[in-house]
Amino acid sequence: NAGVMQNPRHLVRRRGQEARLRCSPMKGHSHVYWYRQLPEEGLKFMVYLQKENIIDESGMPKERFSAEFPKEGPSILRIQQVVRGDSAAYFCASSRDRKNIQYFGAGTRLSVL
Amino acid sequence: GENVEQHPSTLSVQEGDSAVIKCTYSDSASNYFPWYKQELGKRPQLIIDIRSNVGEKKDQRIAVTLNKTAKHFSLHITETQPEDSAVYFCAAPTGNQFYFGTGTSLTVIP
């Protein structure tokens, strides 16, 4: 009964490179949420996806960031041309449906050099 | 204004004392209010939640109260222990999102 799985746990990128963060939801969950957390700050909503659909991306920066949740495989958060300000912990959460409990993965800590 | 406001931002208590963290929300349609505990370097973990059809819920030393009229809910930790030291986040749904409070860093002094 695995929980929400995120990989990698740590990711180091140089400015201008691409970062790909993966999230596999809990078994039976079809709703995925991505959050960004800066050091000593709260969780900022980025995007909410269901299988093959983006439901709400109002928290995503307009440029360089994209997310997907394909029919098969994990959800992917993609950051193109990373900058130092992208350094943060990125958490994924999943739930059974929109009004249900969200369970968090262990996060991916992105460091941009 | 913020959808969810959380106070205080930091809280220190002596071991054995009680701790109370308060959150207010703006969307009167919100109907589910979870609380998460995040230890340093770890994931947020759900510790208790409450739905809008009840006013209080308890789980051992932890309780949550909800005042729908005033649109606020509170986390109560009694008989605090050093392992309760962590950052606590409240959350409330608005539309498709959960808005999280800015967190309360709780320190329990042995």
pLDDT, tens only, A54-71: 999 989 998 999 999 999
- The neighbour count for residue A44, using CB atoms within 10 Å, is 15
Nearest CA in chain B to A43: B100
Sheet holding A75-79, edge to edge: A5-7, A19-24, A75-79, A65-68
User: Quick check: A102 and B98 CB within 8 A?
Assistant: yes
pLDDT of B34 higher than 60: yes
Q: Is A46 in contact with A23 (CB distance < 8 Å)?
A: no
> Going by DSSP bridges, is the β-strand pair A108-112/A10-13 parallel, antiparallel, or unpaired?
parallel
**CA pair distance B106, B85, nearest whole angstrom:** 5
Average pLDDT on B31-37 reads: 93
Q: Calculate the average pLDDT of chain A.
A: 93
pLDDT of A1 higher than 80: no
- Of the pLDDT bands very low, low, confident and very high (cuts 50, 70, 90), residue B54 is confident
Nearest CA in chain A to B91: A43
pLDDT of B1 higher than 50: no
**CA pair distance B103, A42, nearest whole angstrom:** 6
**CA pair distance A59, A45, nearest whole angstrom:** 6
Q: Does B43 touch chain A (CB under 8 A)?
A: yes
Closest CB to B32: pick one of A48, A55, A99. Answer: A99
- Of the pLDDT bands very low, low, confident and very high (cuts 50, 70, 90), residue A85 is very high
Q: Does B100 touch chain A (CB under 8 A)?
A: yes
User: Quick check: B102 and A55 CB within 8 A?
Assistant: no
User: Quick check: A42 and B93 CB within 8 A?
Assistant: no
pLDDT tens-digit readout, A17-51: 999 999 999 998 999 999 999 987 888 999 999 98
Average pLDDT on A58-85 reads: 95
pLDDT of B2 higher than 70: no
Q: Does B16 touch chain A (CB under 8 A)?
A: no
Which position has the higher pLDDT, B41 or A1?
B41
pLDDT of A2 higher than 80: no
Q: Which of B31, B96, B100 to mutate to test the interface with A (most CBs of A within 10 A)?
A: B96
Q: Does B93 touch chain A (CB under 8 A)?
A: yes
Closest CB to B96: pick one of A48, A91, A102. Answer: A48
* Percentage above 90 pLDDT, chain B: 75
Residues A75, A80, A84, A85: is their CA dihedral positive or negative? Answer: negative
Q: Does A104 touch chain B (CB under 8 A)?
A: yes
**CA pair distance B2, A98, nearest whole angstrom:** 21
Average pLDDT on B55-80 reads: 95
Average pLDDT on B54-80 reads: 94
User: Would you mind telling me the total number of residues written for chain A in this entry?
Assistant: 113
